[in-house]
Amino acid sequence: MEKFIRITGLVAPLDRANVDTDAIIPKQYLKSINKSGFGVNLFDAWRYLDNGEPGVNLNSRPINPEFILNKQEYFGSTILIARDNFGCGSSREHAPWALVDYGFRVVIAPSFADIFYNNSLKNGLLPVALSSQIVDSIFKEIAATPGYSLTVDLDGKFVETGSRERYSFEIDAFRRDCLLKGLDDIGITLGYSDEIKEFEMKQKLEQPWLYQ
């Protein structure tokens, strides 16, 4: 996993609540057996005006000029901001894969669905939960400030605005550590193999039917 320590980047405002994982990456792209290449279909149904299908030449597809990511001022943004309950719905990890493949490293929202939150952290995408009021004020600042950017510092657990306003955010220490160091958590867990085996021996004695 790529390390995440601190980034400063352009912010794209997606002014919607309940952005679900079907909207982030529609189901027809889930047929892929790979982890990469989903970025071009990120928010497919909002980004293009036709119905997307895997394998279709992207250059031939009509673009929705109204959609935020199709506006030139947000090209190259690395931070996405949205409203409540971001990432609800299906557990598809293709959602963070698509966001990362597109170039996002941070999503800011007042709240995130649990599975999406976890999936993001495993892919070097940092979900940052800030209060509704703060998110709202950032939306307003973006509207008033062309080229609005933010700094997100995982080490210091804060978001800093252009006007040097700092908002701190919470993240589990273990998760933060994995992200800061780019650690593979399977490797860490396998380091506890003896404890896992011990657990199994005990459980097998008490509930042998679980091992049939």
Partner 1 sequence: MTGKTLYEKLWDSHVVRTESDQTALLYIDRHLVHEVTSPQAFEGLRLAGRKPWRTSSIVATADHNTPTSDWAKGIIDPISRLQVETLDANISVFGARAYYPFRDSRQGIVHVIGPENGATLPGMTVVCGDSHTSTHGAFACLAVGIGTSEVEHVLATQCLLQKKAKTFLIRVNGNLKSNISAKDVILNIIGHIGTAAGTGYAIEFSGSVIGQLSMEGRMTICNMAIEAGARSGIIAVDDKTIDYLEGRPMSPIGDQWELAKASWRKLHSDESAVFDKVIDINGEAITPQVTWGTSPQMVSSIAGSTPDPSLEKNPILKESLDNALAYMGLEPNTRIIDIPLDKVFIGSCTNSRIEDLREAAKVVTGRQVAKSIKHAMVVPGSGLVKKQAELEGLDQIFQDAGFDWREPGCSMCLAMNDDKLQSGERCASTSNRNFEGRQGSGGRTHLVSPAMAAAAAIAGHFVDVRDDYFQ
Which neighbouring-strand residues pair with 6? 153
CB 176 to partner 1: min, Å:
9
10 binds partner 1 (CB under 8 A): no
| Residue 110 φ then ψ, to 5° | -65, -30
41 binds partner 1 (CB under 8 A): no
Task: Answer for the pair 142, 81: CB distance below 8 angstroms, yes or no.
Answer: yes
92 binds partner 1 (CB under 8 A): yes
Which residues have a Cβ under 8 Å from the Cβ of 123 and sit 6 or more positions away?
A: 1, 93, 96, 97, 100
Per DSSP (E only), the strands in the chain are 6-14, 79-82, 106-109, 126-129, 149-153, 158-161, 166-168
Token representation of residue 25: 């990456």
Q: What are the CA-CA distances from residue 43 to residues 106, 165, 175 (Å)?
A: 16, 31, 27
The residue range among 3-11, 72-80, 146-154, 166-174 that interacts with partner 1, by the rule CB under 8 A, is: 166-174
- Give the strand order in the sheet containing 6-14: 126-129, 106-109, 79-82, 6-14, 149-153, 158-161, 166-168
34 binds partner 1 (CB under 8 A): yes
75 binds partner 1 (CB under 8 A): no
Q: Choose, by CB under 8 A, the member of 51, 131, 145, 168 that binds partner 1.
A: 51
Q: Choose, by CB under 8 A, the member of 10, 40, 45, 180 that binds partner 1.
A: 45
The residue range among 59-67, 70-78, 91-99, 156-164 that interacts with partner 1, by the rule CB under 8 A, is: 91-99
Any idea which residue has 């943004």 for tokens?
77
Q: Choose, by CB under 8 A, the member of 77, 78, 119, 161 that binds partner 1.
A: 119
199 binds partner 1 (CB under 8 A): yes
One-letter amino acid at 41 equals N
Q: Choose, by CB under 8 A, the member of 60, 133, 163, 207 that binds partner 1.
A: 207
The residue range among 5-13, 17-25, 59-67, 149-157 that interacts with partner 1, by the rule CB under 8 A, is: 17-25
Question: What are the residues binding partner 1 (CB under 8 A)?
Answer: 16-18, 20, 22-23, 26-28, 30-35, 45, 51-52, 54-55, 83-85, 88-93, 96, 111-115, 118-119, 122-123, 172-175, 185-186, 189-190, 192-193, 195-196, 199-200, 203, 206-212
